[in-house]
Amino acid sequence: MLDKVMTLLRQANVNIQSQGVEEVAIYCPFHRNTDTPSCYVNTKTGLWQCFNPSCNAKGNFRQLHRKLLNEDVVERETVNPDTLRYKLLKGLISEHEVFEISIDELKVDYETTDKLSTLTERGFEIDTLKYFEVCFSEKKNRVVIPVRDSNYKLVAMIGRAVLKDQEPRYLYSRGFKRAKVLFNLCNAKRYDSVVVTEGSLDAIKIHQAGFPNVVATLGSAVSDEQFRLLSRYFDEIIIFPDKDDAGEAMRCSIIDRCRGKKVRWARCPEGRGDPGDMTAAEISEAINDSKITLTLRR
């Protein structure tokens, strides 16, 4: 506020008498104030007041600005030319290049970091996290999982909470349309069979268990576009949902919408809520034992 106050006073040619730590004493511009300065502007709050009883002008910084310059304070947005936002606004780089650059800034030293301990403690291996370029945002205190589209173009970042009470559990980059992509499709699309799971971490864990042909819907609701991608790239679909009502709904909707495909169902064993909680052996067993689903022809 100090800079703003001093700039305004100079701009308006106000006669400044002294500048203290918290206050600037000025000759009041709103009455004939010549002998001793009667007006004080607080440099922290911008509040000001003239102590001449016949004047008694006072107000906040905005009002001072208006009275002195006869115009309102304009809060111009200053965009630093070195920032990604500036380059994006100017069309110098595209949205996915912004993500590529931000990923570089969030990279961790995998050999020494403890930033990803919330994952390594759950059985995620460093090599797996490297493969998926999982990184960490100090600013948000979140593990960051990049999302690439079917052409390996970086389209979003998922920020996952690391603390127990940190809400929301998942943050997605602004404007990201989850319904438009299948997480890890860029890698899974080389196979004719696919494991479909809900969360990105579930998919990463399933990949680690030896199934690189895995995608995640990033939510239990499967969109039309996601169905289109599934039916375009794969002949066999192995559904591996969370063990809850939303997972069951996801399973039913895939069975219903993927008629004509070979559809199997892998289940979480007792005591496991989702594939992300499971060991490699449990995941292999669930997928290898997955049952072909039969539905009645309507």
Cα–Cα distance, 161 to 175 (Å, whole number): 19
By CB under 5 A, is residue 14 in contact with Zn ion?
no
Complex with Zn ion: residue 36 or 295, whichever CB lies closer? 36
Among 9, 26, 28, 116, binds Zn ion (CB under 5 A): 28
Binding region for Zn ion (CB under 5 A) out of 29-37, 115-123, 135-143, 149-157: 29-37
Complex with Zn ion: residue 51 or 172, whichever CB lies closer? 51
Cα–Cα distance, 178 to 145 (Å, whole number): 14
Report the nearest approach of Zn ion to the CB of residue 7 (Å): 21
Complex with Zn ion: residue 31 or 257, whichever CB lies closer? 31
Cα–Cα distance, 121 to 159 (Å, whole number): 18
Binding region for Zn ion (CB under 5 A) out of 44-52, 83-91, 142-150, 159-167: 44-52
Report the nearest approach of Zn ion to the CB of residue 16 (Å): 15
Burial 15-33 (b: 16+ CB within 10 A, else e): eeeebeeebbbbbbbbeeb
By CB under 5 A, is residue 30 in contact with Zn ion?
yes
Cα–Cα–Cα angle for 58, 63, 68, nearest 5°? 95
By CB under 5 A, is residue 206 in contact with Zn ion?
no
At 131, the amino acid letter reads Y
Cα–Cα distance, 201 to 258 (Å, whole number): 24
By CB under 5 A, is residue 15 in contact with Zn ion?
no
Among 12, 23, 31, 49, binds Zn ion (CB under 5 A): 31
By CB under 5 A, is residue 290 in contact with Zn ion?
no
Among 8, 14, 26, 50, binds Zn ion (CB under 5 A): 50
Quote helix, strand, coil % in the chain, to nearest 5. Answer: 35, 20, 50
* Structure tokens belonging to residue 241: 């949902």
**What is residue 144's DSSP assignment?**
E
Give one word for 94, left, alpha or beta, with left for phi > 0 and alpha for psi -120 to 50.
Answer: beta
Complex with Zn ion: residue 57 or 201, whichever CB lies closer? 57
Complex with Zn ion: residue 28 or 222, whichever CB lies closer? 28
Give one word for 29, left, alpha or beta, with left for phi > 0 and alpha for psi -120 to 50.
Answer: alpha
Report the nearest approach of Zn ion to the CB of residue 8 (Å): 17
Cα–Cα distance, 24 to 3 (Å, whole number): 12
Binding region for Zn ion (CB under 5 A) out of 21-29, 73-81, 123-131, 185-193: 21-29
By CB under 5 A, is residue 162 in contact with Zn ion?
no
Residues in the interface with Zn ion (CB under 5 A) total: 7
* Structure tokens belonging to residue 298: 């309507």
Complex with Zn ion: residue 50 or 206, whichever CB lies closer? 50
Strand 214-216, strand 193-197: pairing: parallel
Complex with Zn ion: residue 25 or 249, whichever CB lies closer? 25
By CB under 5 A, is residue 52 in contact with Zn ion?
yes
Among 47, 55, 73, 162, binds Zn ion (CB under 5 A): 55
Complex with Zn ion: residue 39 or 108, whichever CB lies closer? 39
Which residues does 148 contact at the CB level (< 8 Å), separation at least 6? 154, 155, 184, 186
Binding site for Zn ion (CB under 5 A): 28, 30-31, 50, 52, 55, 57
